Amino acid sequence: MSNIEYELNEKIHAIIINPYLKWEDFISNCDLIKKYNIRNISTSLNYLSYLKNAMSNHSVNINALISYPFADLPISFIDEFVGFAKDKGANRIEYMPNFINLSKRNIDTFGLEIEMVKRSEIPVTLIINKSKLDKELFVKTIEISMELGIKSFQFGDGFGPPISTIDIDEILKIISKENHIKIVGGIKKLTQVIDLFDSGITCVGTSNFSEIFEEVRII
């Protein structure tokens, strides 16, 4: 296995969230994750148990997406959803804060959300959709998150516009490279992945992981 492939095993996170995935396609995805020795999967709560069983003989972190992609989880449900993820063996919570609270600039509630998610004592990645926030609120959201101990961030959700090089420059001015920065959305080619890593991004998430690893194998 080449060095580049080994690094990508750690840095490319497979995303499995399609609610209409047929069972045979789900199993095929699991087989591909094992084939390419991928070490991180981001998935919905629906697939947590299935992935834990399917990956029982494969060393992989299974990260639970909560309030994703709609950013609409009422605060009263956070403990229940996070508790479910923990009980099902999630290695990390990837949480998207309630957008209506952010848009109202209800910063106290936003801070409470983070504190509630962190109570699980599972590592937390905060998902922020940069395209939906004005610059001032975007910066404020990150600053408050870091003050509350968040060290891992995801930008982009795979449903809106992809993160641009300008976006990345702005992100890196706020968040140092010592923090964990993940980019999601529109990542389909190996060249995109390499460019993102060269810019200082920690990792990427994509449902097109198989196509990218096939490119690696022919280098």
Residue 1's pLDDT is: 44
pLDDT band at 83 (very low <50, low <70, confident <90, very high): very high
Residue 205's pLDDT is: 97
Q: Residue 187 and residue 184: Cα distance in Å, rounded? A: 7
Residue 24's pLDDT is: 97
For residues 163, 192, 202, 75, the Cα torsion angle rounded to the nearest 10 degrees is 40
Q: What is the CATH number of the domain that holds 31?
A: 3.20.20.70
Q: How far is CA 11 from the centre of its chain?
A: 11
For residues 60, 66, 69, 71, the Cα torsion angle rounded to the nearest 10 degrees is -150
Residue 161's pLDDT is: 83
Residue 178's pLDDT is: 80
Our CA angle for 189, 201, 126, nearest 5°, is 105
Residue 159's pLDDT is: 84
Question: pLDDT tens digits, residue range 38-64?
Answer: 999 999 999 999 999 999 999 999 999
Domain that holds residue 211: 3-217
Please count the structural domains in the chain. Answer: 1
Is 178 or 167 the better-scoring residue by pLDDT?
Answer: 167
- Mean residue pLDDT of the chain comes to 93
Question: pLDDT tens digits, residue range 123-177?
Answer: 999 999 988 899 999 999 999 999 999 999 999 988 878 899 899 999 999 997 7
Strands 92-95 and 152-155: unpaired
Residue 5's pLDDT is: 60
Instruction: Give percent above pLDDT 70 in the chain.
Output: 96
Q: Is the pLDDT of residue 3 over 70?
A: no
